[in-house]
């Protein structure tokens, strides 16, 4: 098992967190490669990484049997985008705030290192969305959390005509629309009153952004569905984005097709930690302020 170590260079505490993992790997002679830029930070902190371990970020993604990504959920989303269809499991180490995807704490090294090297971990497959549109000349875009279309910089409402498997469903009038995976249900969709969905459910969420009518409600459809949305706007532009990391400004009328991608991402999870444990810890789910 070869670990490939990458991370967000702008995250405070990165070098200390990675140093804990590297020390435990060197002590047990674990096999790993590391992003050369992170190794440079470690060297300045007095931790030397042998030259034969150094790689570019892209080389780490290509060579590793398991990708260890230090940062927040945004770092994991970027790592998933880099991995694409290769199927390399991703372990997130949380240096951010919430950390639904990056749920491992740096303090859990070196205790978990031996389990990682021995392959003693659980892998969950997570749904990925694929969006295609004539407005995307470079081809499809992919999202682990969500595909979002919104009104961009305009203050005017947009109309989003939504079709499911060829049948017209509803027109949402508001600031836009979020099409989310179960993984993304605790992201932007949740802030717009979308439901929390267990990550392993085979569904896709459709959530309006600030709907102009009280009957504009979120819906859940099977992950086998093909969703067609047509956007009309008088403002002259709309924003199409994937995970908030890949964006395109387009001129309505805009037609977008969204469906399950032909590949999932694979996320490494601790065997002794359930999704409900994460919800309670991250969202204070079920907590009663009267008893805290």
Hey, which residues are catalytic here? 73
Return the axis-axis angle of helices 14-27 and 36-44, rounded to nearest 10°: 90
Nearest to 126 by CA among 180, 57, 192, 189: 180
Interior angle at CA 166, CA 161 and CA 170, nearest 5:
30
Chain centroid offset of residue 210 CA: 23
User: What residues pair up with 172 in beta bridges, in sequence order?
Assistant: 160
Q: Which residues, including other chains, have CB under 8 Å from residue 249's CB and lie 6 or more apart?
A: 152, 237, 238, 239
Chain centroid offset of residue 41 CA: 26
């Amino acid at each position: 098992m070869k670990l490939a170590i990458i991370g967000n260079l702008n995250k405070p505490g990165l070098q200390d967190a990675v140093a804990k993992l590297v020390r435990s790997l060197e002590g047990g002679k674990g096999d790993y490669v590391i992003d050369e830029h992170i190794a440079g930070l470690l060297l300045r902190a007095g931790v030397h990484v042998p030259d034969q371990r150094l790689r570019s970020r892209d080389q780490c993604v290509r060579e590793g049997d398991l990708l260890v990504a230090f940062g927040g959920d945004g770092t994991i989303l970027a790592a998933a985008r880099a991995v694409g269809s290769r199927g390399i499991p991703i372990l997130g180490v949380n240096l951010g705030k919430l950390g639904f995807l990056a749920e491992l704490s740096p303090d859990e090294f070196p205790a978990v290192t031996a389990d990682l090297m021995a392959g003693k971990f659980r892998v969950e497959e997570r749904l990925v969305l694929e969006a295609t549109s004539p407005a995307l000349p470079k081809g499809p875009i992919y999202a682990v959390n969500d595909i979002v279309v919104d009104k961009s910089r305009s203050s005017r409402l947009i109309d989003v005509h939504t079709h499911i498997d060829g049948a017209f469903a509803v027109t949402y009038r508001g600031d836009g629309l979020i099409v989310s995976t179960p993984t993304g249900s605790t992201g932007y969709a949740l802030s717009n009153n979308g439901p929390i969905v267990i990550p392993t459910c085979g569904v896709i969420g459709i959530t309006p952004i600030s709907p102009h009518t009280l009957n504009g409600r979120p819906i859940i459809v099977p992950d086998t569905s093909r969703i067609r949305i047509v956007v009309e706007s008088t403002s002259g532009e709309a924003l199409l984005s994937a995970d908030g990391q890949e964006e395109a400004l387009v001129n309505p009328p805009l037609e977008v097709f969204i469906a399950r991608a032909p590949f999932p991402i694979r996320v490494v999870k601790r065997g002794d930690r359930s999704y409900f444990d994460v919800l309670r810890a991250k969202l204070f789910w079920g907590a009663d302020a009267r008893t805290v």
